[in-house]
Structure 1
Amino acid sequence: MPYQDVFVLFWEHVKESVQEGRFAKLTMAKTIGKPNLKNIFVRPIYSDDDFKVLVKLRYQSKETEDEEFEFTLEEAFEYLKPYLKTSFSSVILFTTTKDITFKINKKGAASMSENGPTFKNVIQPKSDLE
């Protein structure tokens, strides 16, 4: 199955965890090559009327300031897709009940695996956008 299709299945776990209030964080890791971009973090912003996420791009270089964006969940999905296989080979979904890891190997095949939860609670990020 192409990695894009597996990522769509992975993203269904993300949406389900949001709907159930279990979404703690999402991290894009395992950079490909030696890019300046080190990680991308996605954290929840729960409010009374809607749900948004804070997407933070963290850079290796101290000269490059981290960037933050606020998106809906669907906007975040579209924003993150181009980074798959070009910048990152791993995405980890942290929920309060389990962690799910999405990986792309060197041949472009994707897989998902589950582990016990890293986070017990959902932590609201402090946004520089407020």
Structure 2
Amino acid sequence: MPYQDMFVLFWKELEKSVQEGNFAKLTMSKTIGKLELKNIFVRPIYNDDGFKVLLKHRYRLRETEDEEVELTLEEAFNVVKSHLKNPFSVVIIFTTAKDINFKINKKGIATITETPPTFRSVIQAKSDV
């Protein structure tokens, strides 16, 4: 199965955790090469308008200010998916029930694994956007 199809299955786990109210954070890491962009983070925002996320681009150089944008879950999916393999090879969903790891190896093969949860509670992002 291509890594793009595996990622759709992985994202369904994130959607499930949102429905269950235990989604804490998503992190993209392990860039291929030393790029300016270091990480992408996605944090939950629950408000009267429904569920949204705060997507943050974290840059390697401290002189470059992080960029934050408030998005729907579908919009965040498109941003995260567009950064798969180029440049990020690892995506982790942190929930209060479990952590779900998505990794793409050098051959372009993806794996999904689960580990015990890192987070004990959900801390909402504070939107300054």
- Tell whether the structures are fold-level matches, with TM greater than 0.5: yes
Letter in 1 for 2:90: S
Could you say which residue in structure 1 is the equivalent of 2:71?
71
Confirm or deny: 8 A CA contact 2:45 2:126 kept in the other structure.
Answer: no
Could you say which residue in structure 2 is the equivalent of 1:110?
110
Q: Distance in 1 between matches of 2:49 and 2:62?
A: 37
Give the deviation of 1:125 after TM superposition: 1.4
Q: Aligned with 2:35: secondary structure?
A: coil
Query: Where does structure 2 lack aligned partners over 5 or more consecutive residues?
Result: none
Q: Aligned with 1:52: secondary structure?
A: strand
Question: What pairs with 1:74-113 in structure 2 (closer than 5 Å)?
Answer: 74-113=74-113
**Normalising by the residue count of structure 1, what TM-score does the alignment of the two structures yield?**
0.97
Give the deviation of 1:48 after TM superposition: 3.0
Could you say which residue in structure 1 is the equivalent of 2:47?
47
Give the deviation of 1:49 after TM superposition: 3.5
**Normalising by the residue count of structure 2, what TM-score does the alignment of the two structures yield?**
0.97
Q: Distance in 1 between matches of 2:67 and 2:97?
A: 29
Q: Aligned with 1:25: secondary structure?
A: strand
Query: Where does structure 1 lack aligned partners over 5 or more consecutive residues?
Result: none
Q: Distance in 2 between matches of 1:77 and 1:17?
A: 14
Identical pairs, percent: 69
Q: Distance in 2 between matches of 1:80 and 1:89?
A: 11
Q: Aligned with 2:86: secondary structure?
A: coil
Could you say which residue in structure 1 is the equivalent of 2:58?
58
Question: Which 10-residue stretch deviates more, 100-109 or 74-83?
Answer: 74-83
Runs of 4+ in structure 1 over 4 Å off: none
What does the per-residue CA deviation read over 1:16-64, in whole Å, with 9 as the maximum and x for residues that have no partner?
A: 0001101000000111111010000000001134100000000001121
Tell me the C-alpha RMSD between the 2 structures: 0.7
